[in-house]
Amino acid sequence: MLLLETLKVKQTILDPIPTSLKLPIAVSCYWLQHMEPKAKLHHLQALLLGMLLGPLHAIINSPDKEDLREDGAKMLCEEFQRVKEQTPPGTRLDLDTAHVFCQWQCCLQMGLYLNQLLSTPLPEPDLTRLYSGSLVHGLCRQLLLSTSVESLLSMCPEAKQLYEHLFNATRSYAPAELFLPRSKSNSKKKRQKKQGTRWSKNCVGTISDNRCWYEGSNRFGLLMVENMEDHIEASKFE
């Protein structure tokens, strides 16, 4: 399929994914490979959790639903709604997180355009229940504090199984550092930052040394500039 070849995603990765989420997951795999700056694990987790809204509503509204499935789906939907509404007053937007999700939305938009251009080889998702900014930002905050994905999905086994399919599909395209423990990931960034600072200091020293050499060797530099200015001024009156 030309669409998946362009996104550099294998068809087999999407086999366990529901039809309505194949395109968003394919786009997410592409996003994970190319995003800058790199997303963190809680970004991916929050994004995939947000994608469960559509399937949850499908379970709730299904005519052949079972009471237990419906109850679990309703409870999880209510929990998601609570997460959306519980943002403390005065909470500042995490700009790094916003940037990461903006990149994903741009990738999704281009993926939708490409899918339409190729006569929709993959079904288009229900965008109204695919992504909620307030939900994914709220989930990011919770995942950073104490909540785990497992505890959040424990009330709805169907949603948990679907999440695992989504996560496994995207995991194979995510950079390895996404799954490093937070402490190791932070220490790696500190080392890179320290190396960058050392390099910049060396550059500054080199530039400074070059400037001193230039100023010492070209004693007539200022005289040349003054003469050039005199020449320009004189030429104006000619």
What are the pLDDT digits (tens) for 150-164?
999 999 999 999 999
Residue 80 has pLDDT above 70, yes or no: yes
Residue 63 has pLDDT above 80, yes or no: no
H helical segments located in the chain: 2-7, 11-14, 22-34, 41-50, 53-61, 67-85, 95-117, 133-145, 149-153, 157-171, 182-217, 221-237
Measure the CA–CA gap between 61 and 80, rounded to whole angstroms: 17
More confident residue, 99 or 208: 99
- For 97-101, what is the mean pLDDT? 95
- Give residue for tokens 């960034």: 189
Per residue in 176-224, pLDDT (tens digit) is: 888 887 654 444 444 444 454 454 445 444 444 444 433 343 333 333 3
Give which of 23, 30, 28 is closest to 7, Cα–Cα.
30
Residue 56 has pLDDT above 90, yes or no: yes
DSSP sequence for 150-191: HHHHTT-HHHHHHHHHHHHHHHTTS-GGGGS-HHHHHHHHHH
